Amino acid sequence: QLKLVNPSQYRFEHLVTQMKWRLQEGRGEAVYQIGVEDNGLLVGLSEEEMRASLKTLRRMAEKVGADITVLREREVDYDSDVPRKITEVLVRKVPDNQQFLDLRVAVLGNVDSGKSTLLGVLTQGELDNGRGRARLNLFRHLHEIQSGRTSSISFEILGFNSKGEVVNYSDSRTAEEICESSSKMITFIDLAGHHKYLKTTIFGLTSYCPDFAMLVVSANTGIAGTTREHLGLAMALKVPFFIVISKVDLCSKATVERTVKQLERILKQPGCNKLPLLVNSDDDAVTAAQQFAQSPNITPIFTLSSVSGENLDLLKVFLNILPPLTNSKEQEELMQQLTEFQVDEIYTVPEVGTVVGGTLSSGICREGENLVVGPTDDGKFLRLKVCSIQRNRSACRVLRAGQAATLALGPFDRSLLRKGMVMVSPEMNPTICSVFEAEIVLLFHATTFRKGFQVTVHVGNVRQTAIVEKIHGKDKLRTGEKAVVRFRFIKHPEYLKIGAKLLFREGVTKGIGHVTDLQAITTKENGLEESLGSGQLSF
């Protein structure tokens, strides 16, 4: 927008309608640049015009129920004696119907690079003492507290209210309070850095479908251990990532610069082809957030310390402005499809019964809805009813596509469930298969990869050992070669989709690819119709 000084009533209404549409497109967020012509020319406004324009913008925002925050101001050289400024303003709508923006960020990095500590500091709002106090609230098991190593996947939430201020545990005590007062939520998925927990880390990256990944590198050790591997995983799964260099309080400026140079060198390699962007000021952070979402090639790099709190604010500014990857139109298209919920975790909760956690990949799921879950070991689907839904630990009536949640299933027998199952609407007639074909690239293998080889295959939330039945057109594969391969699951059939991304590993062997063909087992064979027809289903 160039300027918004005292618009007429008609123009004002027009501007408000435009703002509503923009907010809807950006799922509750929009960035306005004032003092810029429609063709992108930086004209700038004088002090008075800028004040009047911001006043008008505030009036518009009040009308649609949004708040505005000034992100940054810049002076421009334009032929005039009066100093002229352009201003960038973030407009964020106070969410109606619990529809806060929810971004999922997976946290990757080598062991001891300070992932859990950084999350502890961000979500608790107090700095670390240098001996791991901040991360204690994140650990889920006793052995994690004793060894200081994350071995499971834990979730932490960080909220931003509509004014762009951080909402975390420092001023609100429960997760419900954070959800109520936030208009944007960032869910951090804290993954394990240690090599022996690699399968858990891959599971976290494939099944929870993170929007972004944050790679944490320790300034004093540089790129070591699993850092390269985690970087490779993010690249293979096409998750846009940004980098945080932690522990800068422990080392000299020269060491930090050396680590930054090392990272820049790796990012510019032909395999990565990324453009590193070092963030040193608020201005950089704003630019980084906008550029990062538009072009996946840009990789912002932050240097910060969880102990001294240096540059932590820059990361918060970045996370606050970071726009979602999908616009509202794509989400609505997904919502019109049939319901499909991926099961990632299963718990038993006293007085509630069996609870499953996971992500709704398409459709809408309501309380009280009847779904079928499967496939079981013999390929059947079982009926069940969703009793209640929780999102970010607060109750929720309706679940929309792309959101993660936990569903309570009441007295359903837990032993019938396992990770990797799907819950779908009964009319979907889901296809399941034991044999499937995938186009793969072998990333690393010690010798040759041939028929009869057993690998662990990860596709979304499915992970199971499969045997290589056939390599089309070749006898064997070497590192870096491409081929279409036929796999067969060893234990039980799984629900897969054509086009799904696939990762497989076995020891040091690793490969990526996508599913190209399924040999479906028809529903008649897997006994759904007979058991549905004769009422054998036990609840």
Q: What is the pLDDT of residue 523?
A: 52
461-503 pLDDT, tens digit per residue, is 899 999 999 999 888 888 888 999 999 999 999 999 899 999 9
Q: What is the pLDDT of residue 530?
A: 36
Token representation of residue 205: 């990256």
CB atoms closer than 10 angstroms to residue 366: 11
CB atoms closer than 10 angstroms to residue 2: 17
Q: How far, in Å, CA of 357 to CA of 407, rounded?
A: 6
Question: Residue 380 to residues 71, 107, 377: CA-CA distances in angstroms?
Answer: 54, 36, 7
Partners of 33 in beta bridges:
88
CB atoms closer than 10 angstroms to residue 21: 11
Structural domains of the chain, with CATH: 9-93 (3.30.110), 101-325 (3.40.50.300), 329-424 (2.40.30.10), 432-520 (2.40.30.10)
Token representation of residue 176: 């419900």
Q: What is the pLDDT of residue 98?
A: 53
**Backbone CA torsion sign across 169, 128, 138, 92:** positive
- Which residue has tokens 């020269």? 254
Q: How far, in Å, CA of 448 to CA of 481, rounded?
A: 11
Partners of 515 in beta bridges:
438
Token representation of residue 419: 């990770």
Closest CA to 236 of 264, 190, 201: 201
- Which residue has tokens 């609840």? 539
Q: How far, in Å, CA of 370 to CA of 98, rounded?
A: 23
Q: What is the pLDDT of residue 522?
A: 66
Partners of 177 in beta bridges:
none
Q: How far, in Å, CA of 71 to CA of 150, rounded?
A: 36
Q: What is the pLDDT of residue 94?
A: 65
Q: What is the pLDDT of residue 427?
A: 87
DSSP type of residue 202:
H
Distance of CA 155 to the CA centre of its chain: 11
Q: How far, in Å, CA of 523 to CA of 379, rounded?
A: 9
| Cβ-proximal residues to 294 (8 Å cutoff; 6+ apart), any chain | none
Tell which phi-psi region holds residue 287, choosing left (phi > 0), alpha (psi between -120 and 50) or beta.
alpha
CB atoms closer than 10 angstroms to residue 538: 8
Partners of 454 in beta bridges:
467
Token representation of residue 256: 């930090």
Partners of 488 in beta bridges:
435, 467
Provide the residue type at 287 as one letter.
T
Q: How far, in Å, CA of 21 to CA of 62, rounded?
A: 15
- Which residue has tokens 């007295």? 411
Q: What is the pLDDT of residue 319?
A: 93
Token representation of residue 21: 């549409």
- Which residue has tokens 């429960």? 174
Partners of 423 in beta bridges:
341, 373
Provide the residue type at 318 as one letter.
F
DSSP type of residue 42:
B
In total, the chain counts a number of residues equal to 539
Strands (E) located in 9-62 = 29-34
Q: How far, in Å, CA of 499 to CA of 347, rounded?
A: 30
Q: pLDDT digit of tens for each residue in the chain (539 aa)?
A: 777 888 889 989 999 999 988 888 887 888 898 988 888 888 888 889 899 999 999 999 998 888 888 988 888 876 777 788 889 999 988 666 556 778 899 999 998 898 989 998 998 888 888 877 777 777 777 777 777 777 778 888 899 988 888 888 777 667 778 877 888 889 999 888 888 888 888 888 888 889 999 999 999 998 887 888 899 888 888 899 999 999 999 999 999 999 999 999 999 988 788 999 999 999 999 999 988 988 888 999 999 999 999 999 999 999 999 888 776 677 788 889 999 999 988 989 988 899 999 999 999 999 999 999 989 888 889 999 999 999 877 788 888 888 889 999 989 999 999 988 999 998 888 888 999 999 999 887 777 888 999 999 999 889 999 999 999 988 888 888 899 999 999 999 999 989 999 999 887 788 899 999 999 886 544 444 433 333 333 33
- Which residue has tokens 């819950």? 423
- Measured distance between the N- and C-terminal CA atoms of the chain, rounded to whole angstroms: 60
Q: How far, in Å, CA of 5 to CA of 49, rounded?
A: 6
